[in-house]
Amino acid sequence: MELVIKDLHANIGDKEILKGVNLTVTPGTIHAIMGPNGSGKSTLSNTIMGHPAYTVTSGEVWYKGQNVLELPVDERAKLGLFLAFQYPVSIPGVTVANFLRAAVNAHRSVAGKDTRETAIPMAQYRKDIREKMAALGVDDSFARRYLNDGFSGGEKKRIEILQMSMLKPSMAIMDETDSGLDIDALKVVSQGVNTLLTQNPEMGVLVITHYQRLLNYIKPNRVSVMMEGRIVREGGAELALELEERGYDFIREEVFGNAN
C-alpha cells in the first residue's frame, strides 16, 4: 500500500516547520528525501510517527486506508510503519531482548485475544533474535544489555536495523541513519536493509538523508528534495548524484530565486 502525505503542516511550538508537504511513497520502492539541515526532514519523519513535540496544524497522512495522524503512536507501528531513529534513546534497566520481545508481542497482539495466546513462543523468539543479531554482526551479549545504554553510535544504528528486521514493517522510515556512522558500520547497516528488502520486496522505504553517501549503498528509485518545509523537486536516482555534485544552492536559486 502507498503512503500518501497530503498538504502536511506541522509546528514545533509556534514555529511552522512543515509548510505543506505532499509526497507519495509506493510499495517496493526506496524513496530518498534529501535536503539541507533545517529543511524539515526529521520533522517529517517524527510527525508521520506521532512525536508529541510536533503539532499537526493541517493535512493528512494516509496508509492502508487510515489517516494515521488520528492513530496513537503504537497503532501506527502496528499498521506497519517503522521509524529508524536518528538519535535512539537509551532505556536503562530494560534489556534489548526484553524490549524487543515486548515489541514483537505488541505487533502480534490481537484485540479481544489473550496476549498469552498471541505471544511468540520463547524458543522461537530466541532463535529469531540470535539469527538476526548474527546477520548484523551484533554480539550475543547485546541481548542482555540495557537498550542503547552506553552503546556507540554505530551500535545504536545496528540495533535499530535489528529491530526493523524483527518487526518486519511494510513501510520503513530511516531518519539520517548514516549520521555518525563510519564506512564499515554504514555498509553493515545498508546490507541489513537490503537483505530485508530482498526478503520483503513489497516494503516501502523512505530514506531521509543529508548526504548522497548512504544512497551509494541503499539505491533509491525516487529522490525528493525538501527545502523550507516543502518538497521542491522530485526525480530519479540521478537527482541525488546531481545534488552531490552541485550542492543544494542551485535548487534553492531555481525555487526561491536569487533574492538573498
Partner 1 sequence: MLTKLPVIAALTAQDIVVASEPTWLQQWRQAAWQHVNEGAAPLWRRTDLTAFALADMEFSATTSTSQLGSAIPDGVVVMPLSQAVREHGDLVKAHLGSAVAFNSSKYAALNAATWRDGWFVYVPKNHEASVPLHLLQGFGASNTLVARNLVVLERGAQLSLIEQYAGDGGPFAVVASELILGDGATLQYTSMQTWGATVHHMGHQVAKVGNDATIVWTAVNTGAAHQHIDAETNLVGNGSRVNWTAATVAGEGQRLLTAPWLRHVGRATEAHMDFKTVVKGSGYATFDGMIKIEGGSTDTVTRLEEHALHLSPQARSDSIPGLKIDTNNVQKAGHASTSGEVDDEQLFYMQARGIPKSDAVHMIVMGFFESVLDRIPLDTLREQVTADIAARI
Binding site for partner 1 (CB under 8 A): 49-53, 72-74, 76-78, 82-83, 85, 88-89, 91-94, 98-99, 102-103, 106-107, 146, 163, 167
The torsion defined by the Cα of 37, 38, 44 and 46, in degrees rounded to 10, comes to: 90
Nearer to partner 1, 13 or 257 (CB): 13
Residue 29 in 3-state DSSP? Answer: coil
Least separation in angstroms between CB 76 and partner 1? 8
Nearer to partner 1, 69 or 94 (CB): 94
Nearer to partner 1, 83 or 227 (CB): 83
CA-nearest of 198, 199, 216 to 207 is 216
Least separation in angstroms between CB 208 and partner 1? 15
d(CA 232, CA 225): 6
d(CA 165, CA 61): 24
228 in Cβ contact with 15 (< 8 Å): no
65 in Cβ contact with 257 (< 8 Å): no
d(CA 208, CA 117): 38
Which residue is associated with the grid cell 497530503?
6
Cell numbers standing for residue 119: 505471544
CA-nearest of 167, 165, 187 to 178 is 187
Bridge partners (DSSP) of residue 25 are: 3
Least separation in angstroms between CB 183 and partner 1? 27
Least separation in angstroms between CB 84 and partner 1? 10
Nearer to partner 1, 92 or 121 (CB): 92
Nearer to partner 1, 51 or 252 (CB): 51
CA-nearest of 88, 82, 166 to 129 is 166
Nearer to partner 1, 19 or 51 (CB): 51
Least separation in angstroms between CB 226 and partner 1? 21
Least separation in angstroms between CB 57 and partner 1? 20
